[in-house]
Structure 1
Amino acid sequence: MTSTTAPETAATSLYAIVETSGQQMWLQPGRYYDVDRIQAEAGDTLELTDVLLVRHGDQSLVGQPTVEGAAVQLTVLSHRRGPKVTVYKMRPKKKTRRKNGHRQELTRVSVTAITMAGKPLS
């Protein structure tokens, strides 16, 4: 019995793992992601230089702690708010209850390119 897996395409073989807002994110070109609020207007372009890993084809470059010369180009699409999270605290037998809600401020960005030494990888 053989297992069939989809062949790895060029789109899935190129990705980068970056550090932004205290989180590590897996980014691929042509996709959009929601990150913590960034002080930029819609349509602005940004560059993330804290790249921890770059995968291109069958090559992987792992940084110590970051990959030298690697960057990810982003375009800001919009500012949004995340889903509402309800926080409910209660002390049993004390009649103490507190209900609070929170919505995280997010920025939706699109990955334009992943570059090494200023040259885009394709």
Structure 2
Amino acid sequence: MNKYAIIDIGGKQLRVEPGRFHDTQHFTPFQHVLTSNKKISINRVLLICHGSSINLGYPWLDDATVKGRILHGCFKKRLTVQQIYSKKRTRRTFGYRENMTRFIVDSIYFGHKDL
């Protein structure tokens, strides 16, 4: 059975499936509150596909929820930025790693029923 949902999280759209983990960049403004194995609920569901039926929201589905839990915090690959000053013949290299939050989707609810 093919079931998935598309959610809006951190200003980006993410396709989630039950039993899989996903990484997101901006999960909440309170990053220090999110500990491992903390239960989460996401209400900004744009689309739910369950088998051959597709439910679209405008912009979100009212009675849809994606439930899961936080696994741990992680980092993205290092992003390298170079500044090259052509007239001075110098260059400067620096980089950073973005903080990510890894979460796993336990279930997708639509109409107060688990799909």
TM-score under structure 2 length normalisation: 0.90
1:60 aligns with 2:54: yes
Q: Distance in 1 between matches of 2:4 and 2:49?
A: 5
For the residue of structure 1 that corresponds to 2:61, the secondary structure is: coil
Q: Distance in 1 between matches of 2:113 and 2:41?
A: 13
Q: Distance in 1 between matches of 2:82 and 2:49?
A: 42
1:89 aligns with 2:66: no
Letter in 2 for 1:62: L
Partner of 2:94: 100
1:30 aligns with 2:19: yes
CA contact 1:37–1:79 (8 Å) conserved in 2: no
Partner of 2:44: 50
Report the number of matched residues. Answer: 110
Unaligned runs of 5+ in 1: 1-9
Q: Distance in 1 between matches of 2:53 and 2:76?
A: 35
Q: Distance in 1 between matches of 2:91 and 2:44?
A: 43
Q: Distance in 1 between matches of 2:59 and 2:85?
A: 44
Across the aligned residues of Structure 1 and Structure 2, the Cα RMSD in angstroms comes to 1.2
Q: Distance in 2 between matches of 1:96 and 1:62?
A: 53
Letter in 2 for 1:116: F
Q: Percent same amino acid among aligned pairs?
A: 32
Unaligned runs of 5+ in 2: none
TM-score under structure 1 length normalisation: 0.85
For residue 109 of structure 2, the aligned residue among 86, 95, 115 is 115
Q: Deviations over 1:94-120 (max 9, x none)?
A: 234221111010111000000013321
Letter in 2 for 1:31: R
CA contact 1:17–1:24 (8 Å) conserved in 2: yes
Per the TM alignment, residue 29 of structure 1 is displaced from its structure 2 partner at its CA by: 0.4
Task: Please tell me whether Structure 1 or Structure 2 has the larger radius of gyration of its CA atoms.
Answer: 1
